Amino acid sequence: MKRFLAASLLAAALPLAAQDTRKEIQRYQQMIADGSPVELFELEGETLWKKPQGPRNISLEKCDLGLGPGVLKGAYARLPRYFKDADRVMDLEARLLHCMTTLQGRSREEATKRVFGNENEPSEMEYLSAYVAAQSRGMKMAAGTSHPKEKEAFELGRAMFFHRAGGWDMSCASCHGEEGKRIRMQDLPVLSKPEFARPIVATWPAYRVSNSQFKTMQWRINDCYRQMRYPEPKFASDATIALSTYLAVTAAGEPYRGPGTKR
Amino acid sequence: MKALFVLGLIPVAVCAQDVQKVLQRDFQPRGQATMDRVVQDGVQRVCTESNDRPPAQLAKQLEADQLKTIAFPQGSLIGDWKNGERIAQNGRGGQWTDAPGAAGGGSCYNCHQLSPQEASFGTLGPSLLRFGATRGNGPEIQRYVYGKIYNAKAYNLCSQMPRLGYSGTLTPEQIKDLVALLLDPSSPVNK
Amino acid sequence: MAVGPMKMRATIAGGNTDVRVLMTHPMTTAQSGQPLHFIQNVVVKQNGKTVLEAEISQAVSRNPVFTFRLKGGAKGDKIEVSWVDNKGDSNKIESAVA
Amino acid sequence: MKTTRRTLIAALGALLLKPLAAFAAWNEQAFGAKTAADALKTLGASSPAASKDIMIEAPQIAENGAVVPIEVSSSIPGTSSIAVLIEKNPFPLAGRFEFRDGALPYVKLNVKMGETSDVRVIATAGGKHFAASREIKVTIGGCGG
């Protein structure tokens, strides 16, 4: 009984402001999620998925995201995974790029000219990611873990997560390594632990209210390295896919709840 | 890359050299963020391989080396705390989106509490509220604060605090203004 | 500039009709350097009858999302929401109460 | 000559057919007011009575001023309109909602806030004006990089 009493006294002793602040921030996050325009991006993504494009003037409706050509339901929840036709582990954006080049006959250079959009003109990848991810809502996330290349991607991703380099000697763990920490008002989930990785990975890609932009996982990784004072990760490169494989596998089992709405 | 793994068996854990090779292949320079930044120096390599728990003897040696990189300016190290507050608020500097040569910031509020008026502060680093009021502002504490900002690894090898002076993010003048923010009695931090 | 899509969901909740509508619109303020471009009027109709008229400013967030609440109502009621902006562009969406 | 005349008529016709709603009312003066007081004066609601029957559901702290969710409702009998003002915005009046018979005095919307400020809600019922307000702190989230 004494330990319980001590613990509750300790909890009360926490500066009330800090407790309230965290509670209020969570309330804010809940309210912006309720009133989020993210569904508008799903609508535009559907239009693009069905729009014939490229030299072959073909839509993406036959693109195989891992569950068979054109199968959308639950496909995102199983990514990243190994694809035999490309002999490579791919995340959603890498796979969409593959379909743009193979099905639509577009050059990689043209298809990756503008992979990150802005609030006035979101990119194709952003619209498509919103639409495809939405088709996995409610399904348990299960990124690939059985193929040797999937294991390789996971191990490489884990090593990258703790690898310190760049202008500020940082690794992902520098910020995402200790429980209960914040950057300014932004809580920092320990992404190497399943219980903290699950709610996060389950809500990417996401609409960010702060700049009214829809952001993908490739952008999230790109922008973290920018702020860690590294040079730029190449879009959909093995390194970026290894890191998102590590995060997705760490979060496995969580029902996908995205596309999310974030600060 | 192939040598990296014994095909079919559970992959051998990936070591720092392997990750560095991958970064050199899959990253590209942009703006002022050049590729030399993915080549680990001794501090980064030892801290990565020891998971930020370096052997004490080795840590002492490397901290001593890092201390030599700090050129302490002559005289008082206390600058202008008002400018220090602006530097502490500024999260830019050294990124590929920052113009080379443009004045960077210390990003201090990302990780620390400083002036009581700023409610949006981070908690990765300890609160520095009333730092000068409790530590005084004599030459020794001025030197410690200046050195710690210039190169935090000279005092704690695997600290998460960036080497703000050593990396070129902040100039000596800017660091003296941050020292003022922490130690000047008239700074809000010490009110 | 092509007008972006809208999305609406009207449902019965607590005996009333909740109308949640999403509008694609930049809602740019003068501060952003671009010319002012924002939705000024929103009209909500229930089975053809105007039940709500709103005037809004550029202080409403980009890609506006509104929830309105109409008295009573039943499955199948026709709900229509339309907007007009300061350039005279407009859009509307109609759907039946689920 | 003939073709240019025909295109002119067509253009003129198109103009007339523009949906009448495009020129609906928009209270230029109220929305142009630089203070909440001025905005309320133009709305004829200079001194509203404080009321506990106006509910403002909003977060105390918003991590970002670009999207601040606000849910407003009035239980004052006969409420015919609700106005939402952000005290410290350059132009405080954010929106005015008129409820015909059929719509309840309720609205949920996202507003932009330049800085920490009071949100003031004015409900009009039977020609009288009532007010409630709530402070919302706006902070800078993220690494500011």
Kindly name the residue from A99, A172, A175, A224 that is annotated as catalytic.
A224
Q: Do A212 and D145 make contact, defined as CB atoms within 8 angstroms?
A: no
Q: How many Å separate Cα B170 from the centre of its chain?
A: 10
Task: Tell me which long-range contacts B119-123 makes (C-beta under 8 A, separation of at least 24).
Answer: B119/A21, B119/A185, B119/D137, B119/D139, B120/A184, B120/A185, B120/D139, B120/D140, B120/D141, B121/A184, B122/A181, B122/A182, B122/A183, B122/A184, B123/A180, B123/A181, B123/A182
Q: Domain of D45?
A: 28-140
pLDDT tens for C30-53 read 776 788 999 999 999 999 999 999
Note if A63 is an active site residue. no
Nearest CA-CA distance, residue C35 and chain D, Å: 16
Among B120, B124, B160, B169, the strongest candidate for a mutation testing the D interface, having the largest count of D CBs within 10 A, is B120
CB count in 10 Å sphere of residue C42: 24
Instruction: Find the distance separating the first CA and the last CA of chain D, reported in whole Å.
Output: 61
Collect all residues of chain C within an 8 Å Cβ-Cβ radius of residue A43. Answer: 5, 7
Phi, psi angles (nearest 5°) of residue C36: -55, 125
Length of chain C counted residue by residue = 98
Q: Which of B91, B119, B120 sits opposite D145 (nearest CB)?
A: B91
Quick one: pLDDT band at residue C3, thresholds 50, 70, 90?
A: confident
Which has the closest alpha carbon to D80: C44, C43, C53?
Answer: C53
What confidence score (pLDDT) does residue A207 get?
Answer: 94
The structural domain count of chain D equals: 1
Q: Do A168 and B18 make contact, defined as CB atoms within 8 angstroms?
A: no
C9 has a pLDDT exceeding 90: yes
Has residue D16 been placed in a domain?
no
Q: What whole-number distance in Å separates Cα of residue D144 and Cα of residue A251?
A: 28
Quick one: pLDDT band at residue A6, thresholds 50, 70, 90?
A: very low
pLDDT tens for A139-192 read 999 999 999 999 999 999 999 999 999 999 999 999 999 999 999 988 899 999
Has residue D5 been placed in a domain?
no
Q: Do chains B and A touch (3 or more CB pairs under 8 A)?
A: yes
Restricting to D residues 34-93, those with a Cβ less than 8 Å away from any Cβ of A are 58-64, 66-67, 69, 71
CB A221, CB B27: distance < 8 Å: no
Parallel/antiparallel/unpaired status of strands A206-208 and A260-262: parallel
Q: Which of A51-60, D55-64, D125-134 has the lowest mean pLDDT?
A: D55-64
The answer for residues whose C-beta is within 8 angstroms of residue B105's C-beta and 6 or more apart is: B86, B87, B88, B89, B90, B91, B92, B93, D144
Collect all residues of chain C within an 8 Å Cβ-Cβ radius of residue D108. Answer: 66-67
CB distance from A44 to chain C under 8 Å? Answer: yes
Mean pLDDT of A233-238: 98
Mean pLDDT of B116-135: 95
Q: Is the peptide bond between B11 and the residue preceding it cis, with omega within 30 degrees of 0?
A: no
Q: Do C7 and A40 make contact, defined as CB atoms within 8 angstroms?
A: yes
Can you tell me which residue has the tokens 């040696």?
A: B61
Collect all residues of chain A within an 8 Å Cβ-Cβ radius of residue D64. Answer: 209-210, 263
> What's the per-residue H, E or C state across A48-103?
HHCCCECCCCECCCCCECCCCECCCCCCHHHCCEEECCCCEEECHHHHHHHHHHHC
Structure tokens at A156: 């490489």
A16 has a pLDDT exceeding 70: no
What confidence score (pLDDT) does residue D141 get?
Answer: 63
Q: What whole-number distance in Å separates Cα of residue A180 and Cα of residue A189?
A: 8
What confidence score (pLDDT) does residue C80 get?
Answer: 97
Restricting to C residues 32-91, those with a Cβ less than 8 Å away from any Cβ of A are 61-65, 67
Structure tokens at A85: 């036709």
CB distance from B92 to chain D under 8 Å? Answer: yes
What confidence score (pLDDT) does residue A9 get?
Answer: 45
Mean pLDDT of D17-43: 81
CB distance from C13 to chain A under 8 Å? Answer: no
Instruction: Find the distance separating the first CA and the last CA of chain C, reported in whole Å.
Output: 32
Half-sphere exposure of A243 (CA within 13 A, CB side): 27
CB distance from D19 to chain B under 8 Å? Answer: no
Mean pLDDT of B172-182: 98
Q: Do B40 and A232 make contact, defined as CB atoms within 8 angstroms?
A: no
Among C25, C32, C56, the strongest candidate for a mutation testing the D interface, having the largest count of D CBs within 10 A, is C56
The answer for residues whose C-beta is within 8 angstroms of residue A36's C-beta and 6 or more apart is: A207, A209, A261, C65
Mean pLDDT of B8-12: 45
D18 has a pLDDT exceeding 60: no
What confidence score (pLDDT) does residue D3 get?
Answer: 53
B8 or C85, greater pLDDT: C85
The answer for residues whose C-beta is within 8 angstroms of residue D24's C-beta and 6 or more apart is: C40, C41, C43, C53, C84
Quick one: pLDDT band at residue B7, thresholds 50, 70, 90?
A: very low
CB distance from A209 to chain D under 8 Å? Answer: yes
The answer for residues whose C-beta is within 8 angstroms of residue B182's C-beta and 6 or more apart is: B84, B114, B128, B131, B132, B145, B189
CB B26, CB A232: distance < 8 Å: no
Q: What whole-number distance in Å separates Cα of residue A94 and Cα of residue A114?
A: 14
All domains in chain C, ordered by first residue: 6-96 (2.60.40.10)
Has residue D77 been placed in a domain?
yes
Q: How many Å separate Cα A177 from the centre of its chain?
A: 18
B30 has a pLDDT exceeding 60: yes
A101 has a pLDDT exceeding 80: yes
pLDDT tens for D96-107 read 999 998 899 999
Q: How many Å separate Cα C68 from the centre of its chain?
A: 9
Nearest CA-CA distance, residue D47 and chain A, Å: 31
Collect all residues of chain A within an 8 Å Cβ-Cβ radius of residue B122. Answer: 181-184
ipTM of the complex: 0.81
Quick one: pLDDT band at residue D6, thresholds 50, 70, 90?
A: low
Q: What whole-number distance in Å separates Cα of residue D22 and Cα of residue C87?
A: 9
Among C61, C86, C90, C91, the strongest candidate for a mutation testing the D interface, having the largest count of D CBs within 10 A, is C61
Has residue D81 been placed in a domain?
yes
CB distance from A224 to chain C under 8 Å? Answer: no
D7 has a pLDDT exceeding 70: no
Has residue D14 been placed in a domain?
no
Q: What whole-number distance in Å separates Cα of residue B63 and Cα of residue D42?
A: 68
CB A108, CB A97: distance < 8 Å: yes
Parallel/antiparallel/unpaired status of strands D128-138 and D61-62: parallel
Has residue D61 been placed in a domain?
yes
CB distance from A163 to chain D under 8 Å? Answer: no
Distances (CA, A) of D32 to A104, D36, D38, D88, D120: 50, 10, 9, 14, 17
Alpha-helix runs per DSSP H in B27-138: 42-49, 56-68, 81-89, 108-111, 131-135
Q: Do B19 and A225 make contact, defined as CB atoms within 8 angstroms?
A: no
Residue B60 carries which side chain, given as an amino acid letter?
K
The CATH number linked to D120 is: 2.60.40.2470
Phi, psi angles (nearest 5°) of residue C92: -150, 160
The answer for residues whose C-beta is within 8 angstroms of residue A15's C-beta and 6 or more apart is: none
Collect all residues of chain D within an 8 Å Cβ-Cβ radius of residue C31. Answer: 90
Has residue D88 been placed in a domain?
yes
Among A23, A30, A32, the strongest candidate for a mutation testing the D interface, having the largest count of D CBs within 10 A, is A32
Has residue D33 been placed in a domain?
yes
pLDDT tens for B40-82 read 999 999 999 999 999 999 999 999 999 999 999 999 999 999 9
DSSP string, A185-220: TEEE--TTSHHHHHHHHTT-SEEETTTTEEE-HHHH
